[in-house]
Every structure is written in C-alpha cells, then in structure tokens.
Chains A and B, each alone.
Chain A
C-alpha cells in the first residue's frame, strides 16, 4: 500500500514538475519573444532597448519610397504625430502602396532609422491593419468610410 501511494506521489510530482517547466518556459518566451507595437508618434517618448524587436505601423508617406540598388527599399512611415524612415531589403508585399497602411517588424537603429526584416500589408483593399486603424482613429487622422 505504501509503495503504491509513493508511486502515485512520484507520478503526480513528475506531472507537476513538467507542467511547471512548461508554464515557466511559456512566460519566459512571452517576455522575451513577443514584440510591442508602436506608431511613429509613440516612438519619440518610448524607451526601447537597443536591438529589441518591435513592430512599427502607420501610413506609407506619399512620395517617400526610394528604391536602392537591387532589393533595397527605403520609405517613410508616418501618422498624425511623427515620421520614421524605414529601410528594408527584400520583396515588398503586393498591396504595399504609398498612402496605405503598413506594419513592419524589425529594430530601431541609433540613427533613428528603422531596419525592418518583414513588411506586412493588408490582404484586402478595404482592410486596414487593425493596430494601425485603431491608432489612427484614436489620433483622429483616419476615418473609415
């Protein structure tokens, strides 16, 4: 009887340790691996550790898209309160256009230029990335028709 009870305890303890480890890993990963979303206006006041991955959203500024040699692209992302220059090396999504909403992911350099490693645009011409739409609405810049 004692043996069985101890065995059961061992199993329960093993299961709890496992779940504890999984939970710990999950919370660690949430802290380390998730990226915060900012609009250009927020960036001035935000304190971002160097090299930390963030998402930057806003509208692609009219006339700001410059194509460098080959696959390098630079463009400005703006909202009601600010503007940030973004550089990206790669292929832009099909629906990337000037004056349209965009979300980019990457790191902010010391020179204030945002180095993006991915650029997301919307998949539907009536659809604005949700974070961008919310923030623009809050700033009163954009009104959905």
Chain B
C-alpha cells in the first residue's frame, strides 16, 4: 500500500508536467485536441494524488511503523481521530494535503469549466499543472512521506500533543482550501496575461473561485484562532505571530480581490488592478507556505525543520511570483482600460476599500518580513509584535470600517452621498446610543472601548439598513417590502451578512481587548474569587488518566451573585509520556456571548495552585462573526448570476428564443 502511494505520487508528478505542456502548446498552436487533454489529465492527476494521500492515511490508521513519517508522528495508543488527522499534522503529510487540494481544484476547473473559452481553459489548466509540478517535485525531492525505515521500531514517537485536538481535523484543511483556492484565480490571471485579453466575463468566472477560497480561508483563520485560544492556555485569540500574519495577508488581499472583481464584472473597470490582486493573493499564499514550512521564523508553527526545504520553497516562490510579475509588467499594457466613474459612487467606494485593504496588506507584510530582512543584512535580531500592529493596522481599519455601511447604499457610476447618509441615520443614532451606554454604564475609564463598541454596532446596524433599504422598508407598504425582501438576490443577503459578520467580529475584538479582566492568584481548595459579577470557587485537584496521557484536573464551580451554582469548569494540566511533554487544557464556561476562561499554573506548597482566570466579554462574537461572514460568502456564491453553468443556459435560451 505504501509503495502504491509512492508510485501514485510520482505518476501524479508526471501527469502535472503533461497537464502543463500539452494544453499550453495546444493553446499556442490552436490545436483543439491538445487543448482538450487538459481536462482528463487534471482529473486523473487528482485521482492519483488522492490514492497517494489515502495510502499515507492507511499507514497512519494501521500504525505502520515501517514508515518513517508514521514513526515520527504517531503512536499506537493514539485515539483514531488523531491517527487520521495526524496524516497532515507533520510537514510531509501537510504538503501532500496541499497538493491534494491543488489537484482537486484543478479537477474542478476541468469539470465545471466546460463553458469557458477553450484556450482560456487550456491555459488555466496548464498553469495549475505547472504549480502542481513544482510542489510534487518539492515533495518527492525533499519531503517524501513514504520513506521506509528498517528495522521498524515497535512504537512511534507520537504526535505533538498540542496537535492532538479536533482543531487539527478542521484548521489545516480549511486553511489550505483557502490558500490553494487562490491558485485558480492566479492561473486565470496568468492565462489572461498570456492571451492578452480580459473582460467582464473573465471576472464572472474568477469571482466564484475567489469567493470559495475566501470563505474557506475565513473559516481556516477563525478555526486556527479559536484553537490557539483554547489550546495554548494564554487566552489570546490573535498573537500577530508571523504565521498568523501569513494567513491573514492572503485573506486581506482576497477580500480586496473579491470587491474589485465586482467592479470589473459590473462596470468593466479596474481590470489591471484586479489582475494584479489575483496574482498577489496567491503569491501571499505561497509566501505563507514558505514562512510556515521553512521555519525561518520563531512561531507556534515552527517545529524542527530542514533548511534545504526552505531553500526549495523559496525557489518555487521566486519563480512563480517573479514570473507572474514579469509577465504582468510585460503584458498588462496590452489590456484595454475600462470604464470611468465619479469618485462618489459604488465603484469609488470599492476603490477606497481596495486602497485601505492593500495598504493594510503592505503594513502587515512589512511588519512580518522586516525582522528577517534586518537580520540578514545587519545581523541584528528584533521582534515586531502586537504594539507595532496595533499602531499601524488599527488606524487603517477604523476609517475603512466607518465607511463600510455607505458602500452598498451608493449607486453605480454616480451616487448621492447625502441620500445614503439619510438612510443611515438610524444606524448612526443606534451606534451613538450604544457608545454612550457603554461609556456611562460599563467602562468609564476607556473612551476607546466605547468607540470600538459603537463602531461594531454601526457596522451591524449599517448592514441591516442596507437590507431594509433594498427591500424598500419605509417607502412601500410592509407587505410589499416583505415580498421584496424575500425576493432580493442572494448576493444582496451575502453582502449584508458578510458586513454584519465584520461588525460582530469587531465587537468581539474590542470587547476582549478593552473590557477583559484578568486575575492571577494562588488558590487552595475552597477558595473563591469574584470575577465580573460571578464567583469562581476552586474545588480541588483530581488525577485523571486519558488514553495516551495523564492529567491533573482542577475543578471549579461558577456561581452567580446569589450563590447558585451555574456550571462546573474543568481546567487541566496534561502530561504526554511518549513525548515527555506537558500541555494546558483551559477550562472555559460560556455565558451568553462572553466566557470565563481558567488556566492552571504550577502547584505550590500545601495543595494550593497558581490559577489564571479571565473574564472575556463578547469573545465568542470574534468567531461567530467569521461564521456569519462565511454564510454571507456562501450565499453570494449560490447567487444565480454566479452559478457555475448558468451563463451557458442563458445563452442557450437566448439562442432558442432567437431561433423561434
């Protein structure tokens, strides 16, 4: 089985080369048969990669310790879920997952791209093939997961305990679906540059891929953030860690691309810019892969690494980003410019969005790479962390978020800012009210907290105003408005929900950053402490034995102000003997949208233990907001206009009508 997987991997590499060469030559020479090879080859390449991936998964499930990768990252006593997810919980396996998703997207383009112009489809598949070839070569040459070891050891070295969590089942696959999803946008952009032609139809083909990748990436980042929050025991949801930034940059670029593609599709404007963003979104994904996989940075994700791999990925990175930008510089001026518009218009608002988002990407990029560059030039070692990003990223986001509710209310081409403002009066009034209430009743010390909460409310109410305005509430009778509301295109709900999600996430971030309280203290059994109107009582420590770990469980009771027990919170210090490694399992109780978070420290004398308790107001909104954004993105994806295959049907119907 292992050799089958290895063989399938090499076959997939060969197929990716075929997928690159044949359709590309076909598109150059106008040979329809050569161009048509792209589709079947892409699908077969995906099947081979899937076989290869399945073979590695089977080796993990059966704990086949004759495979080096399994020995290094698995253990026979590990629960089945973590045996399966352990397949991609290591460098080699995660790269295999990367190419699996890459070929999966290639196969999707082949299957759903039947209505694309033949040369565009051939070129897109060729570029997907080239990306695939580079990464297959990387895996086979430096990161082969199928290497055997002889003699086979009796037992494996176990998976890093931090990764033994449901988060590993969800976070990397979602993140990779996002990263790699942008490869399709990239391939479309390169194909357009090769052909020297780009139009509104191109944007319509690219937008669903961007949306899909964006939805997955949103989910992947949110899941990673929640995982770090509960697993690392530091209670933080975002550390501005280089690897987090690496996933955040493609997200920002992807968000910008999402918005500029709308302008291009509707108004044929911003063509060259959209193309550049498509290239940048995937380039930043590649950069993310490089930063995570090369271990050049100190981070949560930096495990022991081999420098030759970093160099190889760096070469792939330089080749694709450099090649794409050179092609862009050479060909972009052959593309016809698009329509013009007034600054105050929907297009103008979307350009503003792009200006802010791309500046934000640049800021995060500078903050992430500056330490690397400085060290390689001067040898000085510095770290750029949260204070830097709070000072630069924060001020960029505030005006952008303030402007968001205006965007969807502005008309295309030339809009009336005054009319839009009048519609937003209720949202504005609501936000100011909430701001004043926060200031007077919750936190008199922090103006920033009040402002932030007001900003989040403004976004939420603004999104609702958008839906109300589109269904004509206030102008027409309630019955008509309700019918109009039900009949709105899905993309209208999508926009409103995505913006509402941003508002919720903002509320959560502001809530935690400016209103959280922290208590670090030593507690003996029976001690209690007041936390944000609740009482937390320490009941005592109890040993517990898990399948491949032992732990000391600290049991706490959460009581309300009148002394009634609300729930029990169990926080533990775990120890994994296979790796001789302790982990912290935080105890969390959710009250409404806020949480009480308890992490255990070291035991001190006579049964007392150091305990860290946080009150995290509104914290769950951070991730709920992301889920709402994902729902919004998915609804937009399901919109009739974007449905894959829909243009073909309409064209057919038009043709039939013309014939009749």
Are A71 and B382 in contact (CB-based, < 8 A)? no
Contacts of B388 in A (CB 8 A): 29-30, 33-34
CB distance from A106 to the nearest CB of B (A): 12
A130, B612: Cβ atoms under 8 Å? no
Question: Most A CB atoms within 10 A — which of B295, B383, B601, B610?
Answer: B383
Give chain B's interface residue range (CB within 8 Å of chain A).
Answer: 35 or more
Q: B391 touching A94 by the CB < 8 A rule?
A: no
Contact A124 B303 (CB under 8 A): yes
From A26, A125, A129, contact of B581 by CB (8 A) = A125
Q: Is the CB of B363 within 8 A of A124?
A: no
Q: Does A112 sit within 8 A of B, measured CB to CB? A: no
Q: Which residue of A lies closest to B605 (CB)?
A: A67
Instruction: Determine if B233 and A18 form an interchain contact, defined as CB atoms under 8 angstroms apart.
Output: no
- Give Cα A32–Cα B389 distance, bound, in whole angstroms: 12
* Complex contact A91–B601 (CB within 8 A): yes
Query: Binding site of B, secondary structure by majority: helix, strand, loop or mixed?
Result: mixed
The complex places the Cα of A131 from the Cα of B371 at a distance, in Å, of 12
A36 at the interface (CB under 8 A from B): yes
Q: How far is the CA of A37 from the CA of B384 in the complex (A)?
A: 11
Contact B359 A7 (CB under 8 A): no
Q: Which residue of B lies closest to A68 (CB)?
A: B604
Q: Are A18 and B363 in contact (CB under 8 A)?
A: no
Select one of A94, A124, A130 contacting B582, CB under 8 A: A94
Query: In the complex the two chains form, is A18's CB within 8 Å of B343's CB?
Result: no
The yes or no answer to B595 lying at the interface (CB within 8 A) is: no
Cβ-closest chain A residue relative to B523: A70
A137 at interface, CB cutoff 8 A: no
Tell me the residues in window 109-134 of chain A with beta carbons closer than 8 Å to chain B beta carbons: 120, 123-127, 129-131
Assess the A26–B382 pair: CB atoms within 8 A.
no
- Write out the residue numbers on chain A whose beta carbons fall within 8 Å of the beta carbon of B233: 91, 94
Total number of residue pairs linking A and B with CB closer than 8 Å: 115
- Residue pair B612, A91 in contact (C-beta under 8 Å): yes
Chain A interface size band reads 35 or more
- Dominant SS among interface residues on chain A: mixed
Is there an interface contact between A92 and B601, defined as CB atoms closer than 8 Å? yes
Q: Is there contact, CB below 8 Å, between A70 and B521?
A: yes
Establish whether residues B612 and A124, one from each chain, have CB atoms under 8 Å apart when the complex forms.
no
Alpha-carbon distance A107/B359, docked complex (angstroms): 32
Q: List residues of A (68-120) whose CB comes within 8 Å of B's CBs.
A: 70-71, 89-92, 94-95, 103, 105, 120
| B522:A123 contact, CB within 8 angstroms | no
Q: CB distance B370 to A34 under 8 Å?
A: yes
Tell me if B564 counts as interface (CB < 8 A to partner A).
no
Contact residue among B355, B366, B610 (Cβ-Cβ distance under 8 Å from A91): B610
In contact, B371 and A19 (Cβ under 8 angstroms): no
Q: How far is the CB of B614 from chain A (nearest CB, A)?
A: 12
In the assembled complex, which residues on chain B have CB atoms less than 8 Å from the CB atom of A55? 381, 383
Q: How far is the CB of B305 from chain A (nearest CB, A)?
A: 9
Type the 1/0 row for B229-264, where 1 means its CB is closer than 8 Å to any CB of A: 000010000000000000000000000000000000
- Mark A residues whose CB is within 8 Å of B: 7, 11, 15, 18-19, 22, 25-26, 28-30, 32-37, 55, 67, 70-71, 89-92, 94-95, 103, 105, 120, 123-127, 129-131
Q: Which residues of B contact A (CB under 8 A)?
A: 160, 162, 233, 295-298, 300, 302-304, 343, 355, 359, 362-363, 366-367, 370-371, 380-385, 387-388, 391-392, 395-396, 520-522, 573, 579-584, 599, 601-602, 604, 610, 612
> Nearest 4 CB-CB pairs, A to B?
A37-B381, A91-B601, A33-B387, A33-B388
Interchain Cβ contacts under 8 Å between A and B, 10 examples: A22-B363, A22-B392, A25-B391, A25-B395, A34-B383, A37-B380, A91-B612, A94-B582, A94-B584, A126-B303
